[in-house]
Amino acid sequence: MGSIGSIGIPGLILILIIALIIFGPKKLPEIGSAFGKTLHEFKKSTREIISDDPEEEEKKSTSETEESRKKDAGA
């Protein structure tokens, strides 16, 4: 019996068709968006846990945001 890693393209297509039948075409984008946001938050949390200094990471993201605002204001 194969593992999940060996599903392949036909298996993925079958899963997508079943999801389309169950949830319908209107709900699939919402589900995908929610999954993407969840994955983003998970990655962000793991980066913060791995980081030695969470305050340094926060300062870095804050300074990047301020720099982008300055660039936008100057444009």
pLDDT tens by residue, 6-59: 778 899 899 889 988 998 888 888 988 998 999 999 999 988 888 866 565 566
Spatial distance between the Cα atoms of 15 and 7, rounded to a whole number of angstroms: 10
pLDDT confidence of residue 63: 62
- Residue at 7 is within a domain: no
pLDDT confidence of residue 1: 47
- Residue at 74 is within a domain: yes
Please tell me which residue, 57 or 66, carries the higher pLDDT value. 66
- Residue at 75 is within a domain: yes
pLDDT confidence of residue 69: 62
- Residue at 32 is within a domain: yes
Number of structural domains the chain divides into:
1
Range of the domain at 37: 27-75
- Residue at 38 is within a domain: yes
Spatial distance between the Cα atoms of 67 and 64, rounded to a whole number of angstroms: 5
- Residue at 11 is within a domain: no
- Residue at 12 is within a domain: no
Contacts of 28 (CB under 8 A, 6+ apart): 19, 20
pLDDT confidence of residue 21: 92
